[in-house]
């Protein structure tokens, strides 16, 4: 069911190279999640909505609406939004009634409804396009999942948005420094030179190279196991608004890694000068 006020209609699933502007890797950040959501629990983390994989899911208790607010990297004109549910472990966890609102004001106010719909059970690529003459514009997206198909838990594997960015103002403060890493990766040392970042971390003699694009730090990471074999990962990171913590996630580059859950990673900045990489 699509309400007339939604200004949207179902469209065929898209297979082209369109950029998902709701993805973490494109600078989107979750600034509100349900009370029972844990970012670090990657088997149910809300980050799985925007991690670029249709096989990982957010899961939360049903019985009350689940509300998420995304802050996009830039002010954006949306052409369509899409939802994935095919890889949920139980069909009845699929969201049913959903609502999407958009604000050009803030993460807390100014929201106007742009879509109200019933999603289909266990189906990827459920896409809803907006009238080209009335495409909504804003930076904060609020998704409300009001009901599911009867399970005690609700899940969603992907929430996507496409269109065009109207600004190019997103930046990331200089990440140079020494960090105390959580998720087992120990001390992290980063050096930024222009857009290029290099560094290292303690766990398995990890080495990183990467670059900053907008407010996203993309790192290619190499760890050396006890047997000397390298393991390669790619991570996407951002800084908290105060610049004091690096947060993001990483996953391996093999096919099985890409289909699996990522590892949530965070690190507190302890100094603005990095330590030595051995």
CATH of residue 217: 2.40.128
Residue 6, pLDDT score: 46
Domain membership flag for residue 100: yes
Say yes or no: 187 and 263 in one domain. yes
50-66 tens-digit pLDDT: 999 999 999 999 999 99
Listing DSSP states for 178-198 in one string gives EEEETTTTEEEEEEEETTEEE
CB within 8 Å of 127: residues ≥ 6 apart = 10, 11, 12, 13, 14, 80, 81, 82, 83
Is the Cα dihedral 20, 25, 28, 34 positive or negative?
A: positive
166-213 tens-digit pLDDT: 999 999 999 999 999 887 889 999 999 999 999 999 999 999 999 999
pTM of full prediction above 0.85? yes
Say yes or no: 121 and 215 in one domain. no
Query: Nearest CA to 74 among 45, 104, 44?
Result: 104
Residue 224, pLDDT score: 94
Residue 259, pLDDT score: 82
Domain membership flag for residue 277: no
Domain membership flag for residue 278: no
Say yes or no: 224 and 154 in one domain. no
Say yes or no: 158 and 72 in one domain. yes
Residue 153, pLDDT score: 98
Residue 264 banded pLDDT, cuts 50, 70, 90 = very high
Residue 241, pLDDT score: 82
Q: Per-residue pLDDT for 275 more than 60?
A: yes
Residue 258 banded pLDDT, cuts 50, 70, 90 = confident
The region of weakest confidence among 12-26, 49-63, 87-101, 166-180 is 12-26
Residue 243 banded pLDDT, cuts 50, 70, 90 = confident
Say yes or no: 34 and 134 in one domain. yes
Domain membership flag for residue 146: yes
> Which residues form the domain of 211?
177-271
Residue 131 banded pLDDT, cuts 50, 70, 90 = very high
How many angstroms separate the CA atoms of 135 and 32, rounded? 24
How many structural domains are present in the chain?
A: 2
103-120 tens-digit pLDDT: 999 999 999 999 999 999
Q: With beta carbons less than 8 A apart as the criterion, state whether 269 and 178 touch.
A: yes
Query: For residues 201-213, b (16+ Cβ closer than 10 Å) or e, as one string?
Result: beebebbbebebe
């Amino acid at each position: 069911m699509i309400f007339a006020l939604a200004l949207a209609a179902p469209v065929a699933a898209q297979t082209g190279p369109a950029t998902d502007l709701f993805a973490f890797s494109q600078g989107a950040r979750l600034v509100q999640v349900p009370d029972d959501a844990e970012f670090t629990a990657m088997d149910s983390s809300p980050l799985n909505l925007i991690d670029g994989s249709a096989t990982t899911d957010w899961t939360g208790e049903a019985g009350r609406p689940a509300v998420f607010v995304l802050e996009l990297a830039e002010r954006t004109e949306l052409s369509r939004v899409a939802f994935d549910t095919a890889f949920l472990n139980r069909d009845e966890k699929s969201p049913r009634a959903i609502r999407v609102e958009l604000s050009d004001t803030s993460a807390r106010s100014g929201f106007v409804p742009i879509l109200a719909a019933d999603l289909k059970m266990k189906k990827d690529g459920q896409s809803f396009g907006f009238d080209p003459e009335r495409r909504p514009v804003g930076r904060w997206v609020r998704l409300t999942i009001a009901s599911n198909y009867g399970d005690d838990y609700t899940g969603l594997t992907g929430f996507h948005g496409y269109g065009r960015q109207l600004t190019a103002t997103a930046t990331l403060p200089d990440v140079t420094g020494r960090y105390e890493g959580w998720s087992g990766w120990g001390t992290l040392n980063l050096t930024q030179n222009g857009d290029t970042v290099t560094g290292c971390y303690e766990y398995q003699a990890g080495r990183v190279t990467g670059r900053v694009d907008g407010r996203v730090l993309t790192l290619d990471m190499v760890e050396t196991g006890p047997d000397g074999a390298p393991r390669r990962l790619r991570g996407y990171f951002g800084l908290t608004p105060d610049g004091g913590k690096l947060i993001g996630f990483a996953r391996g580059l093999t096919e099985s890694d890409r289909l699996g859950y990522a590892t949530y990673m965070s690190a507190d900045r302890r100094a603005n000068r990095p330590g030595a990489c051995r």
